[in-house]
Copies of this chain bind each other. A is one copy, B any other.
Amino acid sequence: MREIDQVVQLLAKLPGLGPRSARRAALSLIQKRESLMRPLAKALSDAADQIAVCATCGNLDTTQPCGICEDPRRDPTMLCVVEQVGDLWALERTGSFAGRYHVLGGVLSALDGIGPEDLNIASLLSRVGPGKPVTEIVLATNLTVDGQTTAHYVTERLADSGVKVTRLAHGVPVGGELDYLDDGTLAAALKARQTL
């Protein structure tokens, strides 16, 4: 059973899986040995070999620079700043951002001892300025205290660069009901009301 235990213990380290669900997942894998277990082993091994962090934007891809940085159809004047690669994926799924990205790799956090030098802020600053095509930076950090602190810090550092700094709109989520919304979101939505 050592082999099964090994699989269970490693699966249990994934976010969202505990010991019990890891055992269920392991059993399911063994029962679908050829259709799921072997393909997953190969996919993991291939991905571990081939995926690298893009030196330009911090995205994960198999090419250097990444597919988004290399894509000539992308608008070179816009950069969207996100905390993590997962946020980049979320924005890409919407299909509504045509520019390129910059992944900070986290947020400023006094509590966790994460300062500006621990994030990809210097490389962000090197992408704007004279001779660079970027004219607008869209800040898409999370609406948490740390995310907003980071957004403010980045805005300050960009003050002299001459680029326009914008942030995502805050308001009522699409499909959201006012009655179930938290007060902060509702207040923000009211403050940012738009003329029809």
Contact residues of A with B, CB < 8 Å? Answer: 1-4, 6-7, 10-11, 13-17, 21, 23-25, 27-30, 32-33, 36-48, 50-51, 60-62, 67, 84-86, 89
Contact = CB atoms under 8 A, between A and B. Distances in A.
3 tightest CB-CB pairs across the interface, nearest first? Answer: A41-B44, A41-B45, A16-B21
A40 B17 CA distance: 14
Given A3-B50, A30-B47, 6 more contacts: A6-B46, A7-B40, A7-B44, A37-B48, A41-B42, A42-B45
Given A4-B60, A10-B36, A23-B86, A28 B15 contact: yes
Contacts of A51: 3-4, 30
A59 B30 CA distance: 12
A7 B15 CA distance: 15
A50 B4 CA distance: 10
A4 B46 CA distance: 9
Contacts of A4: 47, 51, 60
A3 B84 contact: no
A85 B89 CA distance: 38
A14 B25 contact: yes
B61 A1 contact: yes
A48 B43 contact: no
19 contacts: A3-B46, A3-B47, A4-B51, A7-B44, A11-B40, A14-B28, A16-B16, A16-B25, A17-B25, A27-B85, A29-B44, A30-B47, A37-B44, A37-B48, A38-B45, A41-B41, A41-B42, A42-B45, A44-B44
